[in-house]
């Protein structure tokens, strides 16, 4: 299914209707996501990278996007969160390397 995401039309509004994790989920389930050109949003480049390359490749290409990953495949990839909750920590890069196969 092709899903279109329009830019916001309200004055002084910069959001779009999907956050990057929603795009990731839709693409994971086989949908194609298109964001309207000119949508003014700080997360738009991340949304487009996830939509264009899939989440693993987008995270491999962009260290800022990778840094924003907190949980992956049920594992905590944010060290401060893992420590605060006294849970095990798995570096995000480790999970990306596993997915290369």
Note whether 28 and 41 are within 8 A (CB).
Answer: no
pTM, to two decimals:
0.56
Q: What is the pLDDT of residues 37-90, one digit of tens each?
A: 666 566 778 888 888 898 889 999 998 888 888 888 889 999 998 999 999 999
The residue extents of the domains of the chain are 1-68, 70-101
- pLDDT bucket at 91, cuts 50 / 70 / 90: very high
**DSSP line for 32-90:** EEEE-TT---TTHHHHHHHHHHHHHHHHHH-HHHHHT--EETTEE--HHHHHHTT--B-
Q: What is the pLDDT of residues 3-50, one digit of tens each?
A: 888 877 777 766 677 777 788 888 889 998 887 766 656 677 888 888
């Amino acid at each position: 299914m092709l899903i279109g995401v329009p830019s916001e039309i309200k004055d002084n509004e910069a959001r779009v209707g999907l956050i990057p994790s929603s795009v990731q989920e839709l693409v994971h389930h086989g949908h194609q996501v298109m964001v309207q050109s000119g949508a003014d949003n700080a997360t738009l480049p991340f949304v487009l990278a996830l939509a264009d390359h899939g989440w693993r490749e987008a995270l491999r290409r962009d260290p800022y996007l990778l840094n924003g990953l907190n949980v992956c495949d049920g594992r905590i990839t944010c060290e401060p969160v893992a420590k605060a909750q006294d849970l095990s920590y798995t570096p995000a890069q480790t999970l990306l390397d596993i997915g290369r196969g």
